[in-house]
Amino acid sequence: MDKTNEYLVNFKGHNFVKRFVKTEDLEKIDDFDIRDDDVFIITYPKSGTIWTQQILRLIYFEGHRNNTENISTMYRTPVFEYNIHNLDYAKMSSPRIFTSHLPYYLVPKGLTEKKTKTLYIYRNPKDVLISYFHFSNWVAIFEATYTMDQCLEKFLNGKVLGNCWFDHIRGWYEHRHDFNIMFLSYEDMKKDLRSSVLKICNFLEKELNEEDVDAVVRQATFENMKSDPLANCNYIINNEIGVKNNDGDFLRKGTIGDWKNHLTVKQNERFNMIFKRNMKHFPLKFIWDINEQ
């Protein structure tokens, strides 16, 4: 394992939060015992992970839909490679829902048997960058506060948690035939949450009645998640992970196009140039503005 910086470590080309991983655990991922009815949520960080965790938790657990259970997201849909609560994955009852930021080549090999469902959520990378900028200046596991210029360069060069955004999405997309995978964008979820929930249900082969779908949609809105301690993860960040200041919020803005409020014309041009170079011929569509169709 190489040392990338004080906070991140690199394992097989991927950056991990140093405090939360052990090399010997990462080496076991390949052979992790996958079940056919496991579900994996895969995202590049800051792309709508916690949102998708909430949606799946609501779809799968009636007690969550009707507010009779009080198990938080991180226990119901743990982040696979960061088992910070020391859950015994082998003893979890089915269906297990795992969340992960891993690149396609580091996930358990069992996923390529194509029975286990994988849901890949992607977001326009300018908003990912802005979300990461705020998050890393808030949460203590990241290096010292930096400026947008510094953050932009690190992001474009993949020197951040999650590595290179371009490699992550392209890797997963180019290897999509190796997995039972559905791609869905953050922006689609934002623009039409109900039909996104229905698409997800369809992929997961989960039939919910109208009322249940309404309950999922209602409890997965930005406002409702923000005010729900079991869904917004602020407690875990503030108390278990640690913060540099009290100015942050996991559910910060939750919109499309916030990058316009942060990037200068020059920074935006640089981003566009690198984006074009890396994403030429890439077929998935990105939505950059809340008013865009």
Phi, psi (rounded to 5 degrees) for 151? -65, -40
Q: Which is nearer to ligand PPS, 112 or 268 (CB)?
A: 268
Half-sphere exposure of 82 (CA within 13 A, CB side): 18
What percentage of the chain's residues is helix, strand, coil (to nearest 5)? 50, 10, 40
**Which of residues 43, 124, 185, 196 is near ligand PPS by CB under 6 A?**
43
Identify residues 167-196 at the interface with ligand PPS (CB under 6 A).
190
Taking alpha carbons only, the member of 269, 260, 253 closest to residue 288 is 260
**Which of residues 11, 16, 51, 155 is near ligand PPS by CB under 6 A?**
51
Q: Which is nearer to ligand PPS, 36 or 195 (CB)?
A: 195
Q: Which amino acid makes up residue 161? A: L
CB 48 → ligand PPS: shortest distance, Å?
5
Check if the beta carbon of residue 137 is closer than 8 Å to that of residue 146.
yes
Identify residues 119-148 at the interface with ligand PPS (CB under 6 A).
127, 131, 134
**Which of residues 26, 213, 225, 230 is near ligand PPS by CB under 6 A?**
225
Report residue 30 as tokens: 């390949």
Q: Is 49 in the site for ligand PPS (CB under 6 A)?
A: yes
How many helical (H) and strand (E) elements, i.e. helices and strands, does the chain have? 14, 7
Please give the radius of gyration of the chain, using alpha carbons only, rounded to the nearest integer: 18
CB 134 → ligand PPS: shortest distance, Å?
6
Active site residue 177: no
The single residue listed with the structure tokens 């910086």 is 5
Check if the beta carbon of residue 37 is closer than 8 Å to that of residue 31.
no
Identify residues 239-258 at the interface with ligand PPS (CB under 6 A).
251-254, 258
**Which of residues 8, 42, 46, 204 is near ligand PPS by CB under 6 A?**
46
DSSP assignment of 183-207, as one string? EEEHHHHHH-HHHHHHHHHHHHT--
Q: Is 76 in the site for ligand PPS (CB under 6 A)?
A: no
Residues 14, 64, 85, 101: which is the catalytic one? 101
Given the rule CB under 6 A, which residues bind ligand PPS? 43, 45-51, 127, 131, 134, 190, 220-222, 225, 251-254, 258
Catalytically active residues are 101
